[in-house]
Structure 1
Amino acid sequence: MSVRLVVRTFSELCITAGALIILFVVYFLFWTGVKAADAAEGEIDTLQSQWAREPVAQAPPPGSAEASPSKDPAPDPAPYRAGKPFATMHIPRFGADWEWPVLENTAVGTLKKGLGHYSGTARPGDTGNFAVAGHRRTYGDPFKDFPELRPGDAVVVNDGTTWFTYRVAKKPYRTVPTDTAVVDPVPRGSGFEGAGRYLTLTTCEPEWGSSHRLIAWAHLDATRPVSDGRPPELSG
């Protein structure tokens, strides 16, 4: 075999390999984002249809006659269904139009459609730690700007009946994936003391890797019935 043929064959292989790499990058940077955006929009549409079809009664205000201890306690809410949406999340720091569905569990397939709720952690607004994970890159890059979170930033969750506004406590914290205490009812390292209504957000670190995790903690700051309209953090 001549040297010229060897060089030509090698060059053709390099071109083919380069084309495959480019296609692979386009798939991860573009096509997974398109699919994730469509999937997330579909999950939000499903939620809105469900809320319109099956409105949930608001809890009576404390001190009212309806909230009297003599009344029968309200039944426990139905458990969340694996892989199904139950809320939406808004983070104004990430843009006025930033809205993603929150689905139950953090399985690979679930995180392709939106944000994932760590099963077993609190519900939005409940005492404990409402913990949520999301991709930093690929599948829509929902948490691409995670490092930009700052103390006081709002994280607003809508479960169909109530807007829950959480406030970020401090800049994102870097840890390892095995540090599961970050989603404890009182998350270790958060600076929170005692029982409270907390939120934990998690994503991968570094941006294109997964050797570590970035964590952001927040505490419940305000609630607002959906019937009263969007909270001021989302207006304008």
Structure 2
Amino acid sequence: MVSTTERHRHGASGSRRGRRGSAGRRRRPPASRHTTGDVVRGIVRTIGEVLLTVGLLMLFYASYEVYGGQWETEREQQELAQGLEEAWAAEAAAEEDTEPGPESEPLPGSADSRLYLPSLDLDWVVVNGTTPSDILNSPGHYTDYGSEPGAVGNYAVAAHRTPGLFWDIDQLEDGDVMVLEDAENFYTYRVFEEQTVLPGDVWVIEPDPFDDATDEAPERSLITLTTCAPKLNNTHRLIVWAELAETTPKSDGMPEEIAHMAPEAEEE
């Protein structure tokens, strides 16, 4: 026979076990259901991430195309400058020792002169020739008419519209100075005209582009810069002309306009 007290104890214990058992079970979360909207949003998000990545890659590539080549240009210009100085020194020594011989045609890609644009704080070694390989990292001298620095005629120069080359020549203004240097002299030219023309307008590099009677000998000493226009495009050509104003023998030192661009001044 079970006493009332024991029945109460057993009942309470069972009740507690029942409550614990009920509380110990966890309900399973309802199965997730992907709606059509969720799928569409996921696809759109993935496409957006892919487009963003592609856009960044294209931006990096475009930046390299515009600015990456400037380092290669600077490196090649340093090599050309050293070679040009050595060639001028050898030329001067040969003239002192022997009688000058017949002049030969300039070799394509060989250094010919140095060009200074002091208002843009830029200078380059100019090579002979304007083929793609000639002007890859340097301005190139048109050799069609056999012009020389400082001589009567038109010393025409072409370069790519890239940073480090003719990127900013549209900033040249009337009266700005260009200086050409050869083995013996500095030739100071002053800008007097700028035009944008079509690629087929080859008259711009003729001995006297402003004289319709092209069969007559030129009377002016000009320098012409040509490059693509607008920037990052080649549908037109930007042309800048300057006329000789002064000739300075190297024995007199650099012209005042470019004195700050001398190697010793740059080191200071």
**TM-score over 0.5 for the pair:** yes
Aligned structure 1 segments of 4 or more residues deviating by more than 4 angstroms: 73-76
Structure 2's unaligned 5+ residue stretches are: 1-38, 261-268
The reply to whether residue 11 of structure 1 matches residue 48 of structure 2 is yes
2:195 to 144, 151, 173: 173
Coordinate RMSD, CA, aligned: 2.7
The reply to whether residue 47 of structure 1 matches residue 84 of structure 2 is yes
1:85 to 101, 111, 122: 111
Q: Distance in 2 between matches of 1:219 and 1:76?
A: 29
Contact in 1 for aligned 2:226/2:238 (Cα 8 Å):
yes
Report the equivalent of 2:18.
none
Report the equivalent of 1:20.
57
Would you tell me which structure has more helix in proportion to its own residues? 2
Q: Distance in 2 between matches of 1:153 and 1:189?
A: 23
Q: SS where residue 133 of structure 2 aligns?
A: helix
Compute the TM-score of the two structures, normalised by the length of structure 1: 0.80
- Number of residue equivalences: 217
In the TM superposition, what whole-angstrom CA distance separates every residue of 1:118-141 from its partner, at most 9, and x where no partner exists?
122311122211100122224x2x
The change in CA–CA distance for 1:150 and 1:187 in structure 2 (over 3 A counts) is same
The reply to whether residue 183 of structure 1 matches residue 220 of structure 2 is no
The reply to whether residue 35 of structure 1 matches residue 35 of structure 2 is no
Contact in 1 for aligned 2:187/2:247 (Cα 8 Å):
yes
Contact in 2 for aligned 1:102/1:117 (Cα 8 Å):
yes
Matched ranges for 1:50-61 at <5 A: 50-55=87-92
Amino acid at match of 1:55: A
Contact in 2 for aligned 1:182/1:189 (Cα 8 Å):
no
The change in CA–CA distance for 1:189 and 1:34 in structure 2 (over 3 A counts) is farther
Matched ranges for 1:1-236 at <5 A: 2-3=39-40, 6-55=43-92, 75-95=101-121, 98-121=122-145, 122-138=147-163, 140=164, 142-170=165-193, 172-188=194-210, 194-236=218-260
In the TM superposition, what whole-angstrom CA distance separates every residue of 1:49-68 from its partner, at most 9, and x where no partner exists?
2223442678xxxxxxxxxx
Q: Distance in 2 between matches of 1:235 and 1:46?
A: 22
User: Larger Rg: 1 or 2?
Assistant: 2
Structure 1's unaligned 5+ residue stretches are: 59-72
Contact in 1 for aligned 2:67/2:162 (Cα 8 Å):
no
Contact in 1 for aligned 2:150/2:244 (Cα 8 Å):
yes
Q: Distance in 2 between matches of 1:179 and 1:129?
A: 15
